């Protein structure tokens, strides 16, 4: 029912009780002018509210789903007003002559106004929190001569829940008030003169809703308002594919701070052992991705999907005879794995329903038993461990006519060869079956437990329980590298720039393009020239360890270059580099949920390592890498060198280098490194993350740190730290290592916090921070400083100076009086 031309402009509708039934009164330019100037009449400002403003407003974000948009309703809205002389609908048109519904009321001169406008029923479509966006203009009471006593500058919005689309109530007390709506900008006579309208936008939300729908109501108590549009919507996190998992359209939760945990399902041909999840925020944003899917072996990731081998394209005809056609072809461009065989489908042209399928391990076949002088259509597809790819396009070839003598002769050797090959194949198959039967018989007699074990370079591995194998247990370390790391051709690597310095040489970023795989951004660690055999062994030791791991929160090894120089280790590229530097650079930039997401990732990686029986020994934010999606991955795996190359590692009295500030007391005292000592270090990493890369124990000396920790002191909570996180840190720093949480418990606890973000709202109380701070910095001795500021600066706590002053601790004497209580 679009307006059919200028004649449709300025149609005015008035209400009957049943809504929208009144007669249409054509308006004229004169009536418009009168309305602008007289507050006694309903003002037709909306025609000036100008389409330009409305046009820009029509598009709503993809995370919002409209339940009602009065601007897009062409016909009758079905809203009703009471009393009937209160709100009026003014039917206007936009620049495309499409009708716009506006509602106006302007009874500013009359006392005791109570004008209601009720919408028709709005289904909430399953949403439990809905948003109402109002666009309106409101006249400034000061600009109304004589109206000051009665004129109002607000109106009220109400709702009434109902399962019944015909259950509109007319009793005011059945409606629940949403809010009083005031204008940010009201307009005056002057604005009218300039024909500039000040359009206000106000959004309110209502929830949780429990019925199928609701009615809205607008109550005017004596203002001069034009309600230009009403948009009712809910928010959803729109369906996305992230990390090869599909997350469905998800309606946001009823609570404005709620994060809904949503499980993703792996796209076709992908699998996961860390099920992907994301969290849908009340704002319709996907947050904190956890886990991921990976393409099955033989599939390649491309634009969020996994595809099997690409189609065979290059098919060439070989010998063609009256009853046979020979073909050959090249391997597909992207085989995405080892091609196990080809399937060839062929049929006589136009006889597609009667086709033949043959299989071949070679990239060639001869189709036999064909009719002479007939066109045959061939299609070929490749199979890898992942399954079949798609068929190639159709290739057509024609057999020769019956009288082509040479063709017959050409068949003779083929037939001879075929018969011979057939006989040989038959013999091989029979032999294979017989030997297989013998194997089956002897296996049946084996101990079933023994059968489950695989012997793997002298190490017993149980399927399903993968354990870490220390490369030291190999007599020849080169064997370990080649067992766990793939050899990469140096020519497939392009080095782009130097990004860091490792113990053995430079670390560069670059690209890796291996045959049949898509190009990847990678980090390349190089072994500097002039290395000793031990250095080479130690350097490649990291790859032998890394190559055993396969987890989204552990840095992934692409392979090694050992057959040419320089020797290189190639890993996935982490755009944001090491976590400590990244956090320092972005101080204060992340939400608590983002920080907890990072910690969750690190804990999941560590859980995987501890399940594999690997103890990291040097877990610290500097050894975590972070990518552009803020996914954190544990890195820096080494043999004896683990602690040798860490600038934080210091020699202990028992010899051996240890990164004191990150290490559990039992590991420092008697080198008891276990997953429980990794948990202690994890607590320090939590502290580093929440304090955006602050140095643990600031400038205290290592000796002071060891002493303080032994005496029971612990790092104070970082600024603005959720109490639940600080409690986890303290749990990780239990003296008794058996009392510390395990990594799987940490992952579960962090997941719970992510699911219930309101649990992160309680922060550690500042005054208790200050008192613990004083206690824990006892070894530094506040008595040694002249002013509170100087002392706090020395312990890198200068930012708390103001808090001290505000609380009356302005001199060192006063500070010295502070007790823990």
User: Which residues of this protein are in contact with ligand AMP, per CB under 6 A?
Assistant: 499-500, 502, 507, 523, 555, 571-574, 577-578, 625, 635-636
Question: Rounded CA gap, 571 and 470, in Å?
Answer: 20
Question: Rounded CA gap, 250 and 273, in Å?
Answer: 24
H/E run at residue 684: helix 675-690
Query: CB of 492: closest distance to ligand AMP in angstroms?
Result: 17
Query: CB of 614: closest distance to ligand AMP in angstroms?
Result: 16
What is the number of residues in the chain? 821
**Helix, strand, coil percent values for the chain (each to nearest 5):** 30, 30, 40
Smaller CB separation from ligand AMP, 523 or 700: 523
Smaller CB separation from ligand AMP, 113 or 571: 571
Smaller CB separation from ligand AMP, 284 or 541: 541
Q: Is the CB of residue 602 less than 8 Å from the CB of residue 682? A: yes
Query: CB of 625: closest distance to ligand AMP in angstroms?
Result: 5
Query: CB of 519: closest distance to ligand AMP in angstroms?
Result: 16
Smaller CB separation from ligand AMP, 557 or 660: 557
- Residue 525 annotated as binding site: yes
Query: CB of 566: closest distance to ligand AMP in angstroms?
Result: 15
Smaller CB separation from ligand AMP, 108 or 642: 642
CA proximity to 662, closest of 652, 673, 648? 648
Query: How is residue 227 annotated by DSSP?
Result: E
Query: CB of 621: closest distance to ligand AMP in angstroms?
Result: 11
Smaller CB separation from ligand AMP, 250 or 635: 635
Smaller CB separation from ligand AMP, 47 or 543: 543
> Which residue among 94, 538, 580, 618 is the active-site one?
618
Question: Rounded CA gap, 49 and 199, in Å?
Answer: 7
Query: CB of 578: closest distance to ligand AMP in angstroms?
Result: 4
Smaller CB separation from ligand AMP, 573 or 673: 573
| CA-angle at 278, arms to 275 and 284, nearest 5° | 160
Q: Are strands 11-13 and 25-26 parallel, antiparallel or unpaired?
A: antiparallel
CA dist 187 → 105, 150, 524 (Å) = 15, 17, 65
Buried b (16+ CB within 10 A) or exposed e, 650-662: bebeeeebbbbbb
Smaller CB separation from ligand AMP, 382 or 574: 574
CA dist 178 → 130, 131, 201, 204, 217 (Å) = 12, 11, 16, 8, 10
Query: CB of 549: closest distance to ligand AMP in angstroms?
Result: 14
Query: CB of 555: closest distance to ligand AMP in angstroms?
Result: 6
Residue 323 C-beta-side C-alpha neighbours within 13 Å: 10
- Reading the block at residue 472, the tokens are 């030291």
Buried b (16+ CB within 10 A) or exposed e, 16-40: eeebbeeeeeebeeeebeebbeebe
- Reading the block at residue 265, the tokens are 């399902």
Q: Cα-flanking dihedrals φ and ψ of residue 555, to 5°?
A: -60, 135
Question: Rounded CA gap, 325 and 687, in Å?
Answer: 72
Query: How is residue 694 annotated by DSSP?
Result: P
The residue number with the shortest CB distance to ligand AMP is 500
Question: Rounded CA gap, 732 and 713, in Å?
Answer: 14
| CA-angle at 816, arms to 813 and 821, nearest 5° | 135
Smaller CB separation from ligand AMP, 128 or 627: 627
Is residue 618 flagged as an active site residue? yes
Smaller CB separation from ligand AMP, 174 or 492: 492
CA dist 16 → 42, 76, 84, 122 (Å) = 17, 13, 7, 21
Q: Is the CB of residue 479 less than 8 Å from the CB of residue 469? A: no
Q: Is the CB of residue 395 less than 8 Å from the CB of residue 377? A: yes
Question: Rounded CA gap, 413 and 409, in Å?
Answer: 8
CA dist 331 → 163, 311, 315, 747 (Å) = 62, 9, 10, 45
Query: CB of 790: closest distance to ligand AMP in angstroms?
Result: 34
- Reading the block at residue 201, the tokens are 């936008």
Adjacent-strand bridge partners of 161? 214
Question: Rounded CA gap, 128 and 251, in Å?
Answer: 8
Helix/strand/coil (H, E, C) string of 465-533?
A: ECCCCCHHHCCCHHHHHHHHCCECCHHHEEEEEEEEECCCCEEEEEEECCCCCCCEEEEEEECCCCCCH
Query: CB of 585: closest distance to ligand AMP in angstroms?
Result: 12
Smaller CB separation from ligand AMP, 280 or 632: 632
Angle of helix 743-755 versus helix 675-690 axis, rounded to 10:
30
Adjacent-strand bridge partners of 524? 508, 570
CA dist 98 → 59, 72, 92, 233, 563 (Å) = 16, 9, 8, 22, 73
Query: CB of 542: closest distance to ligand AMP in angstroms?
Result: 8
Q: Which residues are annotated as a binding site?
A: 525
Q: Which residues are annotated as a binding site for ATP?
A: 525
Residues belonging to the active site = 618
């Amino acid at each position: 029912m679009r307006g059919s031309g200028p004649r449709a402009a300025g149609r005015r509708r008035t209400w009957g009780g049943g809504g929208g039934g009144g007669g249409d009164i054509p308006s004229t330019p004169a009536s418009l002018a009168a309305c602008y100037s007289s507050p006694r009449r309903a003002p037709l400002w909306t025609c000036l509210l100008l389409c330009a403003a409305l046009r820009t407003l029509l598009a709503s974000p993809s995370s919002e789903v409209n339940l009602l948009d009065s601007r897009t309703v062409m016909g009758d809205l079905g809203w009703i007003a009471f009393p009937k002389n209160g709100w009026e609908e003014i039917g206007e048109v936009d620049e495309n002559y499409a009708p716009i519904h506006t509602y106006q009321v302007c009874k500013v001169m009359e006392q005791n106004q109570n004008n209601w406008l009720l919408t028709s029923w709005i289904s909430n479509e399953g949403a439990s929190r809905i948003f109402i966006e109002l666009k309106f203009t409101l006249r400034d009471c000061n600009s109304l001569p004589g109206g000051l006593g009665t004129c109002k500058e607000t109106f009220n919005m109400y709702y009434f829940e109902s399962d019944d689309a015909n259950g509109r109530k007319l009793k005011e007390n059945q409606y629940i008030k949403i809010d009083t709506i005031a204008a940010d900008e009201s307009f005056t006579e002057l604005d009218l003169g300039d024909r500039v309208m000040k359009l206000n936008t106000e959004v309110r939300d209502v929830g949780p809703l429990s019925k199928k729908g609701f009615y809205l109501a607008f109550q005017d108590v004596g203002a001069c308002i034009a309600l230009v549009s009403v948009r009712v919507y809910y928010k959803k996190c729109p369906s996305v594919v992230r990390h090869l998992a599909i997350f469905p359209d998800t309606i946001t939760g009823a609570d404005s701070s709620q994060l809904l945990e949503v499980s993703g399902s792996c796209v076709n041909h992908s699998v996961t052992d860390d099920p992907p999840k994301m969290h849908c925020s009340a704002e319709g944003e996907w947050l904190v991705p956890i886990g991921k899917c990976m393409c099955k072996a033989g599939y390649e990731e491309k634009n969020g999907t996994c595809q099997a081998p690409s189609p065979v394209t290059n098919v060439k005809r070989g010998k063609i005879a009256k009853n046979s056609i020979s073909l050959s072809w090249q391997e597909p461009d992207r085989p995405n794995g080892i091609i196990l065989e080809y399937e060839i489908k062929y049929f006589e042209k136009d006889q597609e329903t009667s086709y033949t399928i043959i299989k071949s391990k070679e990239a060639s076949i001869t189709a036999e038993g064909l009719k002479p002088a007939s066109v045959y259509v061939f299609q070929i597809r490749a199979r890898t461990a992942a399954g079949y790819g798609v068929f190639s396009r159709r290739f057509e070839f024609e057999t020769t006519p019956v009288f082509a003598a040479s063709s017959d002769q050409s068949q003779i050797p083929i037939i001879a060869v075929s018969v011979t090959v057939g006989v040989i194949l038959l013999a091989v198959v029979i032999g294979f079956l017989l030997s297989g039967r013998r194997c089956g018989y002897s296996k049946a007699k084996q101990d079933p437990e023994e059968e489950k074990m695989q012997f793997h370079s002298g190490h017993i591995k149980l399927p399903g329980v993968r354990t870490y194998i220390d490369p030291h247990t190999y007599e020849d370390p080169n064997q370990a590298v080649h067992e766990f790391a793939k050899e990469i051709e140096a020519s497939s690597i392009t080095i782009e720039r130097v990004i860091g310095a490792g113990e053995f040489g430079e670390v560069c970023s670059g690209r890796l393009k291996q045959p049949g795989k898509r190009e990847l951004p990678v980090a390349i660690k190089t072994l500097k020239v002039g290395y000793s055999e031990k250095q080479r062994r130690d350097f490649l030791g990291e790859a032998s360890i890394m190559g055993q791991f396969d987890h989204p929160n552990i840095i992934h090894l692409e392979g090694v270059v050992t057959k040419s120089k320089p020797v290189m280790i190639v890993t996935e590229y982490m755009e944001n580099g090491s976590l400590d530097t990244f956090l320092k650079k972005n101080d204060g930039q992340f939400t608590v949920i983002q920080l907890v997401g990072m910690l969750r990732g690190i804990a999941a990686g560590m859980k995987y390592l501890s399940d594999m029986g690997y103890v990291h020994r040097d877990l610290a934010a500097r050894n975590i890498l972070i990518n552009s999606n803020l996914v954190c991955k544990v890195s820096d795996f080494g043999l004896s060198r683990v602690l040798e190359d860490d600038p934080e590692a210091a020699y202990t009295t028992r010899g051996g280098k240890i990164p004191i500030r990150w290490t559990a007391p039992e590991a420092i005292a008697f080198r008891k490194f276990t997953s429980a000592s990794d948990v202690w270090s994890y607590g320090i990493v939590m502290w580093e993350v929440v304090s955006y890369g602050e140095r643990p124990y600031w400038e205290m000396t290592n000796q002071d740190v060891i002493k303080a920790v032994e005496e029971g002191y612990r790092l104070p909570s970082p600024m603005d730290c959720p109490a639940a996180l600080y409690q986890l840190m303290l749990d990780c720093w239990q003296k008794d290592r058996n009392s510390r949480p395990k990594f799987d418990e940490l992952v579960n606890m962090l997941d719970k916090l992510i699911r219930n973000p309101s649990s992160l709202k309680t922060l550690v109380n500042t005054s208790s921070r200050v008192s613990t701070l004083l206690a824990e910095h006892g070894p530094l001795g506040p008595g040694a400083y002249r002013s509170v500021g100087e002392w706090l600066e020395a312990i890198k706590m200068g930012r708390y100076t103001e808090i001290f002053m505000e609380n009356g601790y302005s001199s060192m004497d006063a500070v010295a009086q502070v007790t823990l209580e």
